[in-house]
Amino acid sequence: MSSYSNICFYGGGAWGQALAITLASLGNKSTLIVSDKFREVDINNHVSKRFPQAKLSPLIKASIDKNQIIKGCDLIFITTESKRVLDTINQIAFLSNKNIHVVITSKGFATSTGETFSEVVESDFPNMNLSILTGPTFADEIANNQPAAAVIANKVIEQANSISKLFHNSNLRLYPSNDPQGVSIAGAVKNIIAIGAGIIEGLKLGDNAKAALITRGISETSELIKKAGGNYNSAFGLAGIGDMSLTCSGPHSRNMAYGMKFVKNNNEPPKELVEGLNAINATIALSEKLDLELPIMTSIKKILNKEANVDEIIKKLLSRPIKNEFN
């Protein structure tokens, strides 16, 4: 049985529900904090509008009374969109001196200048026990009990282990890591590469081009992680190459779909917003601060900003000075 007695999810959307379904399969109760009464009623009646094929377990409850629920939790998963994570952290910050474990599942940067959520929390709330859960996972497959693996990172490896053990023997295997900085960066920048993969797919530039994009994208990711104080090996694990491979190939990838629509619309931005758009500005700002050149990611930004067309970008990338594959 779990060492956590009161588990809650701050965010009752797809990812919160999927993780709650997984924990319920192991006999763990949890409460989803939701923003509207209709969703609260549906979930408490074991109905999921997000996953209509799934009958929610009675172990899963929902509530709109976030303040009351938060006070009783010893494990809180933040499953909101990345742009809402900092607001959520500020709302639960009063718990940081208590024995509360906070897990962020959102992928993205905390600020427009490239700070990660773990950096902001360490600076502003040094007593908060924070883990990062990230990796190649689509929520609908998790909810359907299909097998998957991800990484759970905490500077204190024993804390990461406690979350890994919580999910042990479920369809979701979590590998512990002590590199929240590295896995956070990897989880954010893979969305940029996915937009690039969508552009390649939309223009029918071929599988060779997409393979080159992903491989060199991973190389840039590892360099960025290293420069930013993380473990560059995280780029070659589940948070890096694992998640990037999925996001650059899966039909469920919103960021890849954005890139495809961009070129189909004659380089006009689609109406929907995706995480990669926020990540790209933060990534380039961080690379400039670290004096690090990121040719692939910078090129994707230029295409999206209409600073250059794809043919010009490809020609420029292929004519760059020759260098060894590994420095």
Exactly one of 29, 107, 190, 301 is catalytic; name it: 190
Nearest alpha-carbon partner for 232 in 281, 177, 308: 177
Sign of CA dihedral 5, 11, 17, 18: negative
* b/e code 187-215 from CB counts within 10 Å (16+ = b): bbbbbbbbbbbbbbbbbebeeebbebbbe
CA angle 260, 184, 16 (to 5 degrees): 75
Phi, psi at residue 32, to the nearest 5°? -95, 125
Beta bridge pairs of residue 153 = 132, 177
Contacts by 44-52, CB closer than 8 A, 24 or more apart:
48/17, 48/143, 50/13, 50/14, 50/17, 50/139, 50/143, 51/14, 51/17, 51/18, 51/21, 51/140, 51/143, 51/144
**Cα 209 → chain centroid:** 25
Is residue 190 annotated as part of the catalytic site, yes or no?
Answer: yes
Please answer whether residues 20 and 60 qualify as being in contact, where contact means their C-beta atoms are separated by less than 8 angstroms: yes
Sign of CA dihedral 187, 188, 192, 198: positive
Q: Residue 37 burial by CB count (10 A; 0-12/13-18/19+): exposed, middle or buried?
A: exposed
Nearest alpha-carbon partner for 234 in 300, 187, 274: 187
The Cα 21–Cα 58 span in angstroms is 10
Provide the annotated active-site residues. 190
